[in-house]
């Protein structure tokens, strides 16, 4: 008798359309795990804006203790400004990212065949890059304050915090990832390329420091091509020459901004997923679609769940279920390529659950 490998997943469906996409994501992940004779065990947590309305906070105070024992976390989406102001509701996300030192936000930007994109010249195989976003410090350090509040002399200060340790480790992760991807094969002796997304022409302390650390770390990776782009120019290059990029390393805020642009390259927010990763696996990592909770579509079963499936694929890979991750990806590829279930954002009329069913069927 073989014993099945068990993996525990905490599911936080969150607000708005979160529960419906989370259900589909769980459905396809379980089917994918079957392919590897693995069992996924889920525990669902009802934290979010409705929880706030009842309890006066987004989540219990001991949330990190509750989640620490899981192998991974799946997050649907959080926020519903009609119920709770965004800067409060988003504490759920940021508390987990920071509390579990998920210092890498991994955001693959990949255009599947069969997916319509806003980029007219895009062809299958053309867009395949990964943004490695610093995820626990930088512009999101929440250091600052307000002074003389409500007066004509009011002042607000928000400080970016860039540490040597925090910057170095995310750079190193980006170089390692590029090496692993091997996108350049052995082009002119290079196996990959890491683009440094910077703004050192204007941010003369933090981003000059960021560049210095990039240069230092790059010395350990002579096989990886160095590359540099100011964040404003990078947005232009993403549209003009997306095929050029391999791995892009960016600070927290810059990474946030360029990955919404990246989402449009890959077909829209319905396709973009992210992993909040603690690479050393001291704490669980958390995977999520990067779109919002789209409250007005709640319960309508019309949202594209592919971003959530991609998040699950990344989760499976992270917990070591490589074959399950691969079968899920192949099923997604088939469904999209053959146009078996196309939601509204893709110009079709399929429901969220139809896409889930189609992906499950492609794996059976």
CB 114 within 8 A of CB 120: no
CB 26 within 8 A of CB 32: no
Q: Is 15 in the site for Mn ion (CB under 5 A)?
A: no
Closer to ligand IPM by Cβ: residue 7 or 89: 89
Closest by CA to 363, choosing from 49, 139, 3, 27, is: 27
Count of residues that interact with Mn ion, criterion CB under 5 A: 1
Each residue 203-242 as x (binds Mn ion by CB under 5 A) or -, in order, gives ----------------------------------------
Q: Is 256 in the site for ligand IPM (CB under 6 A)?
A: yes
For residue 282, give the DSSP letter. Answer: S
Please, what is the minimum distance in Å from the beta carbon of residue 52 to ligand IPM?
15
Judged by CB under 5 A, the residue of 80, 246, 256, 288 near Mn ion is: 256
Q: Is 90 in the site for ligand IPM (CB under 6 A)?
A: yes
Q: What is the C-alpha to C-alpha distance for residues 83 and 340, in angstroms, rounded to an integer? A: 37
Position of tokens 């988003």?
90
- Give the bridge partners for 40, in sequence order: 7
Contacts of 361 by beta carbon, 8 Å cutoff, 6+ apart:
none
Closer to ligand IPM by Cβ: residue 86 or 212: 86
Three-class SS state of 224: strand
Q: Is 290 in the site for ligand IPM (CB under 6 A)?
A: yes
Three-class SS state of 142: strand
Please, what is the minimum distance in Å from the beta carbon of residue 187 to ligand IPM?
32
- The interface partner of residue 90, options being Mn ion, ligand IPM, none and the CB cut-off 5 to 8 Å by kind, is ligand IPM
From 20-28, 100-108, 236-244, 248-256, span contacting Mn ion (CB under 5 A): 248-256
CB 294 within 8 A of CB 303: yes
Please, what is the minimum distance in Å from the beta carbon of residue 202 to Mn ion?
22
């Amino acid at each position: 008798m073989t014993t099945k490998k068990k993996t525990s997943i905490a599911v936080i469906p969150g607000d708005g359309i979160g529960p419906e996409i989370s259900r589909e994501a769980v459905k396809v992940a379980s089917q994918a795990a079957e392919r590897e004779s693995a069992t996924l065990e889920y525990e669902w947590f009802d934290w979010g804006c409705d929880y706030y309305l009842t309890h006066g906070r987004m989540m219990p105070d001991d949330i990190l203790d509750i989640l620490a024992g899981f192998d991974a976390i799946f997050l649907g989406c959080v926020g519903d400004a009609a119920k709770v102001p965004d800067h409060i509701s988003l504490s759920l996300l940021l508390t987990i990212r920071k509390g579990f030192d998920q210092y890498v936000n991994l955001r693959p930007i990949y255009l599947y065949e069969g997916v319509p994109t806003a980029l007219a010249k895009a062809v299958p195989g053309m867009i395949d890059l990964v943004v490695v976003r610093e995820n626990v410090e930088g512009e999101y350090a929440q250091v600052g304050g307000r002074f003389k509040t409500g007066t004509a002399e009011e002042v607000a200060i928000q400080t970016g915090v860039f540490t040597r340790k925090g910057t170095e480790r995310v750079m190193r992760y980006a170089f390692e990832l590029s090496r692993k991807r091997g996108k350049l094969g052995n082009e002119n002796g290079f196996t990959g390329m890491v683009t440094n997304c910077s703004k050192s022409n204007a941010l003369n302390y933090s981003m000059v420091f960021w560049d210095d650390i990039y240069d230092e770390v790059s010395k350990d990776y002579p096989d990886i091509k160095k590359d540099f782009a100011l964040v404003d120019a990078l947005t232009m290059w993403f549209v003009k020459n997306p095929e050029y990029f391999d791995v892009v390393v960016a600070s927290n805020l810059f990474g946030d901004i360029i990955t919404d642009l990246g989402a449009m390259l890959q077909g829209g927010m319905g396709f973009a997923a992210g992993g909040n990763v603690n690479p050393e696996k001291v704490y669980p990592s958390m995977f999520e679609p990067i779109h919002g909770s789209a409250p007005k579509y709640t319960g309508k079963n019309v949202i594209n769940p592919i971003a959530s499936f991609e998040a699950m694929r990344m989760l499976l890979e992270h917990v070591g279920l490589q074959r399950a991750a691969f079968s899920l990806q192949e099923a997604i590829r088939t469904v999209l390529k053959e146009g078996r279930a196309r939601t509204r954002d893709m110009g079709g009329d399929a429901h969220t659950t139809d896409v889930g069913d189609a992906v499950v069927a492609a794996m059976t």
